[in-house]
Structure 1
C-alpha cells in the first residue's frame, strides 16, 4: 500500500455508491447529531472525549447498529481490518468547515483507521511529522481511505476549512459532506 507517496495509505474509489450510500446517509440523518463541536458528530460503539483526547472507561455505547456492522464486516472481508472495528465517528462538514491537522489518538485506537466519504467531495491534506512533505488527496463521495503504518502514525491529516477545493486545476465547490471513520478501541 502506497498511495500519493505515503506508505500505508490506500484509496478505494466507489467503495459505497448508489442506493447503499443513500441508505447510510438516511440512517445517519435519522440519528441524533451532537452539536457541541464546530461540526456535527455521532458516536457509535464508543464515545471519544475530544477534550481529554481519550476513550474514557465509561465510553461504551453498545454494539454498532446493524447498518454500520454490515460495513464493518465488509471492511474485514475486503482485507482492510484484521478484526471487526468497534468504534465509528460520523462527522458532518458543511461548506467552509474542516478539521485541523491531527493523528488519531495513538493510545486510544488500533493501527488501522478507515474513513468513508459521503455526499460531497473535499480535499484532505497530509503532512509528514518529521519533515516538510505535504500531499493532497481528493476524497470523492463513496470512496474509502485507509491509513495504517506510516500513514497512520507519521503523517497528520486534515480537511482545510473552506468552501471549495482546487482539484487538477479545477475549482470544485463543496456541498454537505459526511464521513464515517472506523477504528478499533484499545482499552487500557
Structure 2
C-alpha cells in the first residue's frame, strides 16, 4: 500500500494530506459528536449539519436546511479554505460512523447538489478508500490514516467513484491491520436544492 500515498498514483484531482488534525482535535471532535444525536436511518450511524441529504432521492430538497454549521465545524470549514484545501466555504457536513465490517458503496457525490470540491476527514481508525473509473478497469486504493484529509475535485470528483470496502481489516505493507471504530467528516458546498424529493435513481 505504499503507492497509495504517492500522489502520482492518485486519480486526477484527488489529494491526500496526512496529519490534518492533532490528536487533541480528534478527541474533541469525537466527544462533540458523541454528545450529539446519531441517526440510525442507514446501516451506519450519521449526523447531518447545515443541510439534510436525502439518501433515497439522492438530492437535497429545498426544505432540507438545518441552519448554519455549529461553531466548531465552521472553524474547520474556514480552515479548509484558508489553507487552500477548497475555494468555496463548505456549508454542509455529514459525520459517518463505521464499525469494523461496515463501509459505503461506490458512488459519486451528487453533481448538481454540491460544488466541485468534496473533502473527507478521517478520525479514530485507518481504512482503505477505493477509486474506480466506471468507463474502464482502473482502480486505485488509498489508505486513509486517522486525522488525515482527502480532497476530491475535477476528475477525481466527477469521473471516478469512491467507496469504503465493508471489511474488518486492511492490508498495510503486507500486514493485516484490524479496523476499529472510524468516523469521517465530509465537507461540501451546496449549490442547488431540489423543490421536493423525487424518485430514487
Other-structure match for 2:135:
130
| Structure 2 Cα separation of the partners of residues 12 and 5 of structure 1 | 12
Alignment of 1:1-80 (within 5 A): 2-80=7-85
- Rounded to whole Å, the distance in 2 between the matches of 1:21 and 1:51 is 31
Q: Which runs of 5+ in 1 are unaligned?
A: none
The answer to whether residue 180 in structure 2 is matched with residue 175 in structure 1 is yes
Separation in 2, partners of 1:117, 1:90: 10
Aligned to 2:164: 159
Return 162-171 or 86-95, whichever deviates more: 162-171
- TM-score using structure 1 length: 0.97
Q: Deviations over 1:67-95 (max 9, x none)?
A: 10010000001111212100000000000
Matched, 1:121 2:129: no
Counterpart contact for 1:87–1:183, Cα < 8 Å:
yes
Query: By how many angstroms is 1:170 displaced?
Result: 1.1
User: Could you state the TM-score of these two structures normalised by the residue count of structure 2?
Assistant: 0.91
Identify the range of structure 1 (53-62 vs 3-12) with the bigger mean alpha-carbon deviation.
3-12
Q: Which has the higher strand share?
A: 1
Distance across 1 between alignment mates of 2:52 and 2:8: 30
Count of matched residue positions in the alignment of Structure 1 and Structure 2: 187
Q: 8 Å contact 1:3–1:10 — kept in the other structure?
A: no
1:139 to 144, 159, 167: 144
Distance 1:109 1:120, change over 3 A: same
1:23-78 CA-to-partner distances (Å, cap 9, x unmatched) read 11111111100101000000000000000000001000000001100100000011
Between the aligned partners of 2:42 and 2:8, the Cα distance in structure 1 is 31
Conserved 8 A contact 1:95-1:175: yes
RMSD of the TM alignment (CA)? 0.9
